[in-house]
Amino acid sequence: MTDNRKPKIILTGDRPTGRLHIGHYVGSLRNRVALQNSGEYDRIFIMIADAQALTDNADNPEKVRQNIIEVALDYISCGLDPEKSTLFIQSQVSELTELDFFYQNLVTVQRLQRNPTVKAEIQMRGFSESTAETDTKAGLPVGFFCYPISQAADITAFNATTVPAGEDQKPMIEQTREIVRKFNSTYGETLVEPEILLPDNSACLRLPGTDGKAKMSKSLGNCIYLSDSEDEIRAKVKGMYTDPTHLQVSDPGHVENNPVFTYLDAFCRDEHFEKFGGCFQGRKASFEFHNLDEVKAQYRAGGLGDVMIKNFLFEVINDTLKPIRERRRELEKNIPYVYDVLRKGSEEARAVAAGTLAAVKRSMRINYFDAGVLEELIKEQTEKYK
């Protein structure tokens, strides 16, 4: 019996602009590990997007270079298993840039300008249209503006069906789907249309920063890193932005747009109350909660102080990060192994991307020197000049 099922393939990744944080974890990493271990996927490619990181860090390649190993250490510590998933470095797969080059002709500048994530990122980085034409620090680098097209190359090169990512990636996947449809309708059915896989918990779609800003982001410095020590996590949680109207413990509080509660929504499970319920026992007041809904109700009613909630949040986050941190410490002693994983993964990825590039060139009929094609071409052109 032949299996006609379309292979299920994952491609996703991260920019090596810093160590990974809990936003990455709940937005994408946790999902990737679960999907990897579900055994439902035929292949899983996890890319360290160094070339994409250079689009807004051209003057600082060292930062990108240093962070490749940080991201790889975070990956493996979180449970990505090099035996089951191919971990690779984007710049080592040069086929991706060739695909990008062909896809650029299928996208208009106007369409790119409409991409809401790119728009927000341009603003966040302070790139402005009015600055000196040669200043790539202040002006908008062409490569950065076009990175959604390069991302389409990354996804399609591996025939990915599924991209587990945070909400900010939605416009990127939509752009990729448009490129696939345009390519296939122009040159014939060749590329696979991917789907984004968002976390099903809405708190995880776009985890806010510890400062209350809309997104935890390496570039904003408002992160709790997966590799942070217990003391660092405790200090960051303690300093977190909460409800600014909750001035006295007795005041009614708001849980909406309160990052402390968003983090609890993202990390807390009922068993955490059995484990860390003691955090709600103070000298002045004590509470017994069994689930997060009860905590929220009390916070809204007033009488529950931020300190108690933050103590509990620290325990909950630390409970998740402790085993990751411990695996990382072990792995840090074996750096040659990590580079070996990346080298082998990049070789494997390259072979797959080369297959897609060959198919793309075949469909576009720019495979002039392929076996059999050259003979046909010579015949055709000789006829023309007869």
Interacting residues with ligand ATP (CB under 6 A): 14-15, 17, 23-24, 27-28, 165-166, 168-169, 206-207, 215-219
Which lies closer to ligand ATP via its Cβ, residue 107 or residue 220? 220
Which lies closer to ligand ATP via its Cβ, residue 218 or residue 328? 218
Closest residue (Cβ) to ligand ATP?
27
Which lies closer to ligand ATP via its Cβ, residue 169 or residue 190? 169
CB of 333 to ligand ATP, least distance (A): 26
Run of H or E including 34 = helix 30-38
CB of 364 to ligand ATP, least distance (A): 30
CB of 257 to ligand ATP, least distance (A): 15
The tokens describing 47, both together, are 């890319």
Report which residue type is found at 286.
Answer: S
Q: Angle between the 147-157 and 170-187 helix axes, to the nearest 10 degrees?
A: 70
Q: Angle between the 230-238 and 306-331 helix axes, to the nearest 10 degrees?
A: 150
Which lies closer to ligand ATP via its Cβ, residue 308 or residue 316? 316
- Residue 287: strand, helix, or coil: coil
Which lies closer to ligand ATP via its Cβ, residue 29 or residue 191? 29
Q: Angle between the 147-157 and 335-364 helix axes, to the nearest 10 degrees?
A: 90
Query: Do residues 44 and 86 make contact, with C-beta atoms less than 8 angstroms apart?
Result: yes
Which lies closer to ligand ATP via its Cβ, residue 11 or residue 207? 207
Which lies closer to ligand ATP via its Cβ, residue 14 or residue 74? 14
Ordered DSSP codes for 70-123: HHHHHHHHHT--TTTSEEEEGGG-THHHHHHHHHGGGS-HHHHHT-HHHHHHHH
Query: Do residues 190 and 99 make contact, with C-beta atoms less than 8 angstroms apart?
Result: no
Max Cα distance, the chain (Å): 100
Residue 280: alpha-carbon gap to chain centroid: 35
CB of 24 to ligand ATP, least distance (A): 4
CB of 218 to ligand ATP, least distance (A): 4
Long-range contacts of 184-188 (CB under 8 A, 24+ apart): 186/106, 187/360, 187/363, 187/364, 188/363
CA–CA separation, 153 and 200 (whole Å): 27
CB of 16 to ligand ATP, least distance (A): 8
Which lies closer to ligand ATP via its Cβ, residue 32 or residue 310? 32
CB of 199 to ligand ATP, least distance (A): 8
CB of 208 to ligand ATP, least distance (A): 7
Cα distances (Å, whole numbers) of residue 292 to 24, 30, 259, 296: 23, 21, 14, 6
Q: Residue 274: how many CB atoms within 10 A of its CB?
A: 9
CA–CA separation, 353 and 360 (whole Å): 10
CB of 251 to ligand ATP, least distance (A): 29
Which lies closer to ligand ATP via its Cβ, residue 24 or residue 43? 24
